Amino acid sequence: MKREKVEWCQFYWFDTPERHLPRILLIGDSIVVGHGQAVARRLQGEATVGFYSTSKIVGDPAIYRELALALADEPIDVILFNNGLHGIDCPDECYRAGLEAFADTLRHSTRAMLAWRNSTPLTVPDSPAELEPVKNAIVLRRNAIAAEVMAERNIPTLDLYSAMLNHPEYRLADGYHYQETGIERQADLVADYLRGMLARRNLMLNLDGAFETDFPGKVSDWNGFARYDFTLNGERCILVKPNCAPAPGKPWLWRARFFGAFPYADLELLRRGWHIAHIRVEELYGSPESNRRFDLLYAFLTKLGFAPRCALAGFSRGGLDTVNWAAKNTDKVACLYLDNPVCDFKSWPYRRASEEWKRCLAAYGFTEAEALAWKGNPVDNLAPLANAKIPLLIVCSDADETVPPEENALIVEPHYRALGGEVEMIHKPGVGHHPHSLENPAPIVAFLEKHCLPRRG
């Protein structure tokens, strides 16, 4: 990597005493130096704005030493970042690798919601209407690379390149920088975009004192979406919000267990305007305490205006939690998506995990004899779901040795059909318990949208 003759960086924070406001960090180069203070003026009273500008290109190890200083003082809520006008000799493949690492570092070392701002055009010196053929071609390639990198990470993009492209009146004669009119226009666009990010980050809360909660709790970035970690009457919960307007009816997918594992369907639903919800039910195995916590989260989210009939996702042992609650609350469930589900605790954990079996007995307050005689497992309790016409989707790995399908999913399927219930099966031949879900989740998403979105016509 070839550094430039002069290397530099700058740090600014504006209105730092306003500690109650969300903090926004702009990352970029001299373009950020140009509009950073104007953005801060526009957002005064709404957010505390700072910028970190540098001549270093992503991939330069020194950029991380500078970044550490920019992130050091206070937690940052929103980051709008850019890189690409410097290090012009850096090959495209090195730029891609550096940008991927930089984006991942921001995601994993901060709680901030992230957005990318692409690079602005480069023009011929003293000819602001004429694009510089060699350098601007590099800018275009890097913007295209960045678009791919950000799309892979669900990081949205502010397109400042297009906004500046056909406005030579905005430009200075040096081919890089902007006159006051251009700076003010950039500041308008950036400030408006950041207001939209803050709006996506925030949720209105009006619960009339019905719950004891710190909602929205800790707000962080989760694969490009706003994630809320909060407590509800002492129980830990998660809610992830889409970046777009909610889908019709404000549908939500309830991940009963293993939040964040194999999230292919979750991410696609978020892109389509769904919310994803979770309440901690570890080591509860569908017991009455699991049901109580489900009751709590359901009451809370429907009070917030979410759809009165949710989609439940039960991965592995989450099958016990989802089916047991759904059978008691058929009016609250639109459909069930079960993925290599445990449908009988006499299959798992009884036969395969002695410590888990002890915890299962403790969750129910059963002796072993009482548990083995109990007829309340999902395999025994499908009639309420079938009578309520609740459709099931079961993703079944046929070589699953942890949760054998012949003791679980393959019992549920024919029994549910015999009861008159609707069930769709997706078989994964030769696949073990992991991985769950489908890397192409289109069939799962289609099932969920079919049964949860309002019907047209």
Chain segment 260-305, per-residue pLDDT in tens: 999 999 999 999 999 999 999 999 999 999 999 999 999 999 998 9
Strand 218-222 with 423-428, pairing: unpaired
Report the amino acid identity of residue 364: Y
- Say whether pLDDT at 208 is over 70: no
Residue 194 shares a structural domain with residue 289? no
Exposure on the CB side of residue 325, measured as CA atoms within 13 A:
34
pLDDT above 70 as % of the chain: 97
Number of domains in the chain: 2
Same domain, 119 and 83: yes
Whether residue 369 lies inside any domain: the answer is: yes
Quote the pLDDT of residue 382: 96
Among the listed ranges 72-81, 135-144, 439-448, which one has the minimum average pLDDT value? 72-81
Would the pLDDT of 247 be above 90? yes
> Which residues have CB under 8 Å from 179's CB, separation 6+?
169, 170, 171, 172
* Amino acid at position 211, single letter: F
Instruction: Tell me how far apart the alpha carbons of residues 141 and 124 are, in angstroms, rounded to a whole number.
Output: 18
Domain final residue pick, 201, 234, 258: 201
* pLDDT mean over 368-388: 95
pLDDT exceeds 90 at position 353: no
pLDDT band at residue 244, thresholds of 50, 70 and 90? Answer: confident
Distance CA 69, CA 25 (A): 12
Three-state SS across the chain?
CCCCCCCCEEEEECCCCCCCCCEEEEEECHHHHHHHHHHHHHCCCCCEEEEEEECCCCCCCHHHHHHHHHCCCCCCCEEEECCCCCCCCCCHHHHHHHHHHHHHHHHHHCCCEEEEECCCCCEECCEEEEECHHHHHHHHHHHHHHHHHHHHCCCCEECHHHHHHCCHHHECCCCCCECHHHHHHHHHHHHHHHHHHHHHHCCCCCCCCCCCECCCCEEEEECCEEEEEEEECCEEEEEEECCCCCCCCCCEEEECCCCCCCCHHHHHHHHCCCEEEEECCCCCCCCHHHHHHHHHHHHHHHHCCCCCCEEEEEECCHHHHHHHHHHHCHHHEEEEEEECCCCCCCCCCCCCCHHHHHHHHHHHCCCHHHHHHCCCCHHHCCHHHHHCCCCEEEEEECCCCCCCHHHCHHHHHHHHHHCCCCEEEEEECCCCCCCCCCCCCHHHHHHHHHHHCCCCC
pLDDT of res. 406: 95
Is the confidence at residue 206, as pLDDT, over 90? no
Q: Which residues contact 455 (CB under 8 A, 6 or more apart)?
A: none
Strand partners, 116: 81, 157
Give the domain CATH number at 367: 3.40.50.1820
In a domain, 229, yes or no: yes
Centroid of chain to Cα 255? 13
Note whether residue 457 is domain-resident.
no
CA pair distance 251, 309, nearest whole angstrom: 8
| pLDDT given for residue 362 in this prediction | 95
Residue 212 within any structural domain of the chain: no
Last residue of a domain, one of 167, 201, 235: 201
For 278, 301, 303, 317, the CA distances from 210, given in Å and listed in that order, are 19, 12, 9, 31
pLDDT of 187: 97
What is the per-residue pLDDT for 17? Answer: 75
- Taking the alpha carbons of 172, 117, 22, 17 in that order, is the dihedral positive or negative? negative
Q: Do 103 and 43 reside in the same domain of the chain?
A: yes
Please check whether residues 386 and 416 belong to one and the same domain: yes
Whole-number pLDDT of residue 456? 61
446 forms beta bridges with none
Residue 379, domain extent: 218-452
Query: Which burial class, exposed, middle or buried, applies to 330 when counting CB atoms under 10 A from its CB (0-12, 13-18, 19+)?
Result: middle
| Shared domain check, 403 and 294 | yes
* Angle between helix 133-152 and helix 92-109 axes, rounded to 10 deg: 40
| CATH classification at residue 129 | 3.40.50.1110
Confidence of residue 454 (pLDDT cuts 50, 70, 90): confident
Q: Same domain, yes or no, for 332 and 417? A: yes
**What's the pLDDT at 236?**
95
Predicted pLDDT at 205? 58
Q: Are residues 224 and 171 in the same domain?
A: no
CA distances (Å), 202 to each of 24, 225, 228, 428, in order?
14, 12, 10, 40
Q: What pLDDT score does 204 carry? A: 57
Domain boundary among 168, 201, 234: 201
Residue 236: name the closest of 304, 153, 285, 293 by CA: 293
- Confidence bin at 2 (pLDDT 50/70/90): confident
Is 208 part of any domain?
Answer: no
Does residue 253 share a domain with residue 148? no
Same-domain pairing of 226 and 152: no
Q: Both 173 and 280 in a single domain? A: no
Mean pLDDT of 310-316: 96
Q: Which residue has the higher pLDDT, 123 or 224?
A: 123
In the predicted model, what is the mean pLDDT of residues 312-322? 96
Residue predicted with more confidence, 46 or 72: 46
User: What's the whole-number mean pLDDT along residues 161-187?
Assistant: 96
pTM of this prediction? Answer: 0.75
Cβ atoms < 10 Å from Cβ of 19: 9
- Hey, what are 95's tokens? 């730029």
What pLDDT does residue 376 have? Answer: 94
Q: How far apart are CA 8 and CA 29, in angstroms?
A: 9
Q: Is residue 210 part of a domain?
A: no
Query: Given this model, what pLDDT does residue 322 score?
Result: 97
Provide the pLDDT confidence category of residue 218 given band limits of 50, 70 and 90: confident
Q: Is residue 304 located within the same domain as residue 402?
A: yes
**Residue 183 maps to a domain:** yes
What mean pLDDT, rounded, does the chain reach? 93
CA–CA gap between residue 70 and residue 282 (Å, rounded): 38
Residue 447 and residue 444: Cα distance in Å, rounded? 5
Residue 73: which pLDDT band, with cuts at 50, 70 and 90? confident
**Are 295 and 381 members of one domain?**
yes
Q: Hey, which residues does 227 pair with through a beta bridge?
A: 220, 240
Structural domain includes residue 181: yes
Angle in degrees, CA 381, 385, 387, rounded to 5: 110
